[in-house]
Amino acid sequence: MRPLWKGAISFGLVYVPVKIYVATEKKDIKFSYLHKKCKNPVQYRKYCPYCEQEVNAGEIVRGYQYEKGRYVILEEEDLENLAPEAAHSIDIQDFVDLDKIDPIYYDKAYYLAPAAGGEKVYELLKRAMQETNKVAIANVMIRSKVSLAALRVAEGALVMSTMFYADEVRSAGLIEELNYHVQLHEKEIKMAVGLIDSLSTDFKPEKYANERREALMEIVQARIAEERVTVPPARPEPEKVVDLMQALKASIEKAQRERGSPAPAKNRKKAAGRSKG
């Protein structure tokens, strides 16, 4: 795997040079959207309706809409100058107990591997976290986005999970349907607890599979085997732009050859002069 990011973990005055690798990947089946009529892929363009033209990446800037139709423009330098030292640093703020973190805060997971020369201090941090059974809470910047993150030990490595900030997690109290009132009997609670106990086991992630994805792949593979496939017609190649005068001259000469027309008067005079000589 190729590292996504290189930098260092910092806690106190200790620096651990590390590389970040993406720990997870989506395996959903991705569909292409085709034009029903010709079965060619539909294009999604970056288009400016005011200028009536397509816009390339170099012509796009970041704008924050603070009122409807009114924007503040931010340049790349503005973002970089906010915290230039954070671009390649995982700054540990606190150490907490893992069971104190609600999973709702977790976003995406990454593996941290020691960079060249950082193996000993990496192992030291990992061993200390194992001994104390603690999780590190840190700030990290990945691809110009600053995130809260949790570092823990798993599978013999440091694993970092980016997290949502508190103001990014919506309160369940905003959901009107949760404001209900019911009465439960003790017997009902004991039966529900007993059912949970009977279904309880160790978590084995390999036990679970995406059945819908597997069923879709079965359909896809069956249709490939039956040769029920679609090949969209090739798009016509754009004609080469040629010099207009050359094109006209070539067209006239071609027409004369095909029709057996006499050469222009100027050419006939030249030919007559050569024959007299």
Residue 261 counted as domain residue: yes
Residue 115 counted as domain residue: no
240 band by pLDDT with thresholds 50, 70 and 90: low
Other CB atoms closer than 10 Å to residue 236's CB: what's the count?
6
What is the structure's pLDDT at 143?
A: 74
The whole-chain average pLDDT of the chain stands at: 83
275 band by pLDDT with thresholds 50, 70 and 90: very low
Residue 258 counted as domain residue: yes
Residue 249 counted as domain residue: yes
Residue 201 counted as domain residue: no
Q: How many distinct structural domains can be found in the chain?
A: 1
- pLDDT tens, residue by residue, 115-135: 999 999 999 999 999 999 999
Other CB atoms closer than 10 Å to residue 7's CB: what's the count?
21
> Which residue segment(s) compose the domain that 248 sits in?
244-270
Residue 44 phi, psi dihedral angles, 5° rounding: -115, 115
153 band by pLDDT with thresholds 50, 70 and 90: very high
Structure tokens given for 14: 């200790």
Which of the 8 DSSP states describes residue 33? Answer: P
What is the structure's pLDDT at 28?
A: 81
- pLDDT tens, residue by residue, 165-190: 999 999 998 899 999 899 999 999 99
Q: Which amino acid is at 228?
A: R
Residue 255 counted as domain residue: yes
What is the structure's pLDDT at 72?
A: 87
* 3: exposed, middle or buried (Cβ count in 10 Å: 0-12, 13-18, 19+): middle
What is the structure's pLDDT at 270?
A: 47
- pLDDT tens, residue by residue, 185-228: 999 999 999 999 999 998 888 887 877 878 888 888 887 888 77
Name the β-bridge partners of 48.
Answer: 53
261 band by pLDDT with thresholds 50, 70 and 90: low
Residue 266 counted as domain residue: yes
Pick the range with the lowest mean pLDDT from 12-26, 96-110, 222-236. Answer: 222-236
Name the β-bridge partners of 106.
Answer: 163
Structure tokens given for 160: 């970092």
Residue 94 counted as domain residue: no
